[in-house]
């Protein structure tokens, strides 16, 4: 599991600093001990300061999860930066953004940090605590409580300001010092001159009470645990006796008192209840520590060792306890591969590898392979060839391999099975700057990250998930990768048609659209080159009717009027280049004309009209078709394929909806009687731009959908 240890130590990274500052500092050694213990428990650990950057850092470390996936967890040891009830600040943020965490929630922390409220609740529930009074100002009337008394700030911890007083003068002096330093009311309570016992609690409903620990004070100071003792500045040694040398009856009573205090204050997972034992053998609760210290030499760890838990086991037990509270079981059940539950194992395999997927996506994205980069494409081919070798897949014997398309298949072949289609090249203009991989909490950015790279990673990990349950080679699966998407698949189209004709159904791993879109129909796409050549004309002279630029612009305007929403056809100009002699107006114009269409006959009619508009006379012109990408028509045979994917998506609460696209893909090459869906890749925004980005959660979701869909093919 991903575990973020959230702490406060030195950071003042807030919008403003004002109010009551936190004086409580987490010992660096304790922080290191917790981190090392979690790593020994097999967790992936990150250290994060609990300041204003907490949320984006958590999002980056533990992004959104799919349904049923256990999210990461925060191991909370944060004392807060400033203000009252500061223990509650980080848990409150975590609850707001939906991140589970170890230890109590905001309410329990608030109650326990306010010593007066704690004592009022204890009294209300019949739990023993010393008599007390609150001094709101140093000069108020003194309480009628017998001396000695102990004074402390109302809302502090770690024994700040703690002092025993024996008369009115000492009380006023100590209360004044606390008020001046901490600017808060003073708690004055009867001092119980006896032994100090604490009980650590571990778990919930009810918690386990560990053996009581006695603090044994050396000579040279008061019989209390001071701040100087805790920071090793008092000059005396405070030792821990565990189990405390008290009778079994008293031990049981201390544990029962501790459990009840834990419950009435609403604590979770862990706490330490500090008590005093007077000479008559009566116990009194002094404080409830909802965020107890976790040092290896502290009383909590000492009590855990007494019941057989070393430090690493103790720290990891806290994570298991919190997991049980949030998810119902301490650990997910083990998987027996011999009788594997496909859904749960595929989900577990995919979700546990999201970091690996993003790491491999980074490597692939930063390895350039644009359409016009043959060396980069060959390097990518080499990489994916290694993938399929590791998966035990072989080159498809009857499908040509290279130079523009490559096909692999499982040992059973893919005839009558599923064909996955994706492209290796990044179809971006040669002059566009290369965009390196980068990540934010929601999206992954980079050159072709969604159009090319993420679908390849998604496909690889879906197949690996099947291999992990020993099903890959029992399935009929083929993978066809081509490298000329940026050239409208002109050279690979024949191979794609042939491979698609063998398959029972085809999934094209073009990127999905935001909001869960997959594509079940697309327009066709034709590209023409219009070249116009006129006579050179010098500026300032009368321009003949054959002036190339003016004539072309006028014709382009007429051509654009062929666009018809009713006929689902559009004609537009995507590029315009001119050539001229020195000191002359352009005499040559080259234009790229794009036609998108749904019906081939209407496209042919539009071409005839285009030639008519260009007509005779005027400059010399030539219209040449560069490419033709057939439309992907809506087909009734898609219904079952679409329904199957939608059912899987519904089980995982993954958004999925069929959509229409005006842009073409190789899905148009699939025979009309073969079920086919496109846009199966992860959701991508700003495709083909420097801001192209893949939604991080979608990379996991779409991989999960593909893996489960392919696995279900064996069952049907």
Query: Which pLDDT tens digit goes with each residue over 83-135?
Result: 888 899 999 999 999 999 999 999 999 999 899 999 999 999 999 999 998 88
Confidence class for position 643, pLDDT limits 50, 70, 90: very high
Confidence class for position 542, pLDDT limits 50, 70, 90: low
**Are 511 and 548 a contacting pair, CB within 8 Å?**
no
Q: What are residue 451's phi and psi, to 5 degrees?
A: -70, -30
Interval 491-534: pLDDT, tens: 999 999 999 999 999 999 999 999 999 999 999 999 999 999 98
Interval 307-341: pLDDT, tens: 999 999 999 999 999 999 998 754 433 333 344 46
Interval 361-382: pLDDT, tens: 999 999 989 999 999 999 999 9
pLDDT at site 333: 38
Rg of the Cα atoms in the chain: 36
Average pLDDT over residues 22-43: 86
Q: Is the pLDDT of residue 535 over 60?
A: yes
In the structure encoding, which two tokens stand for residue 580, read together? 């001229």
Confidence class for position 342, pLDDT limits 50, 70, 90: confident
Residue-range domains of the chain with CATH = 2-100 (3.40.50), 112-309+317-327 (3.30.470.20), 364-522+633-715 (3.40.630.10), 528-629 (3.30.70.360)
Confidence class for position 221, pLDDT limits 50, 70, 90: low
pLDDT at site 145: 83
Confidence class for position 432, pLDDT limits 50, 70, 90: confident
Average pLDDT over residues 448-462: 97
* Mean pLDDT taken over the chain: 89
Greater confidence (227 vs 677) lies with 677
Q: Judging by DSSP bridges, how do beta strands 418-423 and 505-508 pair with one another?
A: parallel
Task: Give Cβ neighbours of residue 234 (< 8 Å, ≥ 6 apart).
Answer: 220, 221, 226, 228
User: Alpha-carbon distance 114 to 86, whole Å?
Assistant: 11
Interval 137-185: pLDDT, tens: 777 777 778 889 898 888 765 456 678 888 888 888 888 888 888 778 8
Interval 398-411: pLDDT, tens: 897 879 999 999 99
pLDDT at site 232: 62
Query: Which stretch of 13-27, 247-261, 430-444, 575-589 has the lowest confidence by average pLDDT?
Result: 13-27
**Are 197 and 251 a contacting pair, CB within 8 Å?**
no
Neighbours of 284 (CB within 10 A): 21
Query: Which stretch of 47-56, 167-176, 408-417 has the lowest confidence by average pLDDT?
Result: 167-176
Beta bridge partners of residue 660, listed in sequence order: 521
pLDDT at site 505: 95
User: Alpha-carbon distance 18 to 31, whole Å?
Assistant: 27
In the structure encoding, which two tokens stand for residue 233, read together? 């500045």
pLDDT at site 339: 40
Whole-prediction pTM: 0.76
Greater confidence (94 vs 640) lies with 94
Distance of CA 418 to the CA centre of its chain: 31
């Amino acid at each position: 599991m991903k575990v973020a240890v959230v702490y406060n130590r030195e950071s003042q990274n807030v919008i403003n600093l004002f109010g009551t500052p936190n004086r409580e500092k987490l010992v660096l050694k304790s922080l290191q001990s917790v981190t090392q213990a979690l790593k020994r428990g097999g967790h992936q650990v990150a250290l994060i300061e609990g300041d204003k950057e907490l949320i984006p850092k958590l999002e980056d470390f533990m992004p959104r999860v799919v349904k049923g996936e256990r999210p990461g967890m925060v191991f909370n040891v944060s004392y807060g930066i400033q203000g009252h009830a500061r223990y509650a600040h980080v848990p409150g943020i975590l609850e707001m953004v939906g991140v589970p965490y170890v230890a109590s929630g905001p309410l329990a922390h608030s109650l326990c940090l306010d010593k007066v409220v704690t004592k009022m609740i204890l009294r209300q529930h019949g739990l023993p605590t010393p008599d007390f009074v609150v001094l709101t100002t140093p000069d108020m009337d003194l309480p009628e409580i017998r001396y000695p008394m102990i004074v402390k700030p109302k809302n502090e911890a770690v024994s700040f300001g703690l002092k025993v007083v024996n008369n009115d003068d000492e009380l006023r002096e100590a209360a004044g010092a606390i008020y001046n330093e901490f600017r808060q009311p003073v708690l004055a309570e009867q001092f119980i001159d006896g032994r100090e016992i604490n009980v650590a609690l571990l778990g919930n409903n009810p918690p386990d009470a560990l053996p009581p620990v006695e603090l044994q004070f050396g000579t040279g100071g008061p019989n209390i645990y001071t701040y100087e003792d805790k920071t090793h500045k008092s000059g005396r040694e405070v030792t821990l006796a565990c189990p405390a040398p008290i009778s079994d009856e008293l031990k049981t009573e201390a544990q029962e008192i501790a459990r009840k205090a834990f419950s009435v204050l609403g604590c979770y997972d862990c706490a330490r209840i500090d008590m005093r034992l007077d000479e008559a053998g009566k116990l009194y609760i002094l404080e409830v520590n909802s965020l107890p210290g976790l040092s290896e030499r502290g009383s909590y760890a000492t009590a855990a060792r007494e019941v057989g838990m070393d430090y690493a086991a103790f720290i990891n037990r806290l994570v298991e306890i919190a997991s049980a509270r949030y998810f119902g079981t301490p650990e997910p059940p083990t998987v027996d591969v011999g009788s594997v539950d496909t859904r749960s194992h595929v989900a577990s395999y995919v979700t546990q590898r999201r970091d690996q997927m993003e790491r491999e996506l980074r490597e692939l994205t930063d390895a350039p392979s644009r359409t016009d980069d043959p060396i980069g494409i060959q390097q990518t081919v080499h990489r994916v060839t290694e993938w399929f070798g590791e998966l035990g897949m072989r080159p498809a014997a009857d499908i040509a391999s290279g130079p523009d398309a490559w096909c692999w298949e499982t040992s059973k072949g893919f005839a009558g099975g599923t064909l996955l289609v994706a492209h290796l090249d990044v179809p971006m203009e040669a002059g566009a700057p290369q965009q390196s991989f980068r990540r934010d909490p929601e999206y992954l950015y980079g050159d072709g990250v969604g159009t090319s790279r993420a679908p390849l990673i998604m496909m690889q990990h879906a197949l690996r998930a099947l291999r992990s349950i020993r099903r890959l080679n029992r399935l009929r699966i083929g993978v066809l990768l081509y490298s000329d998407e940026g050239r409208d698949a002109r050279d690979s189209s024949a191979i794609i048609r042939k491979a698609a004709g063998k398959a029972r159904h085809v999934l094209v791993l073009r990127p999905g659209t935001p909001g869960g879109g997959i594509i079940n129909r697309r327009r066709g796409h034709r590209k023409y080159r219009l070249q116009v050549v006129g006579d050179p004309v010098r500026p300032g002279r009368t321009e003949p009717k054959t002036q190339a630029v003016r004539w072309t612009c006028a014709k382009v305007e007429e051509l654009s009027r062929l666009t018809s929403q009713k006929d689902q056809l559009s004609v537009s100009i995507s590029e315009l280049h001119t050539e001229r002699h020195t000191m002359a107006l352009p005499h040559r114009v080259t234009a790229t004309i794009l036609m998108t269409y749904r019906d081939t006959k209407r496209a042919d009619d539009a071409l005839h009209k285009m030639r008519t508009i260009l007509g005779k006379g005027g400059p010399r012109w030539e219209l040449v078709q560069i490419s033709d990408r057939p439309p992907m028509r809506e087909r009734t045979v898609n219904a079952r394929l679409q329904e199957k994917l939608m059912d899987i998506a519904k089980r995982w609460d993954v958004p999925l909806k069929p959509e229409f696209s005006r842009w073409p893909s190789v899905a148009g090459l699939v025979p009309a009687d073969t079920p086919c869906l496109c846009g199966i890749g992860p959701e991508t925004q700003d495709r083909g731009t420097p801001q192209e980005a893949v939604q991080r959660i979608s990379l996991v979701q779409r991989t999960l959908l593909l893996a489960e869909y392919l696995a279900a093919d064996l069952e049907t």
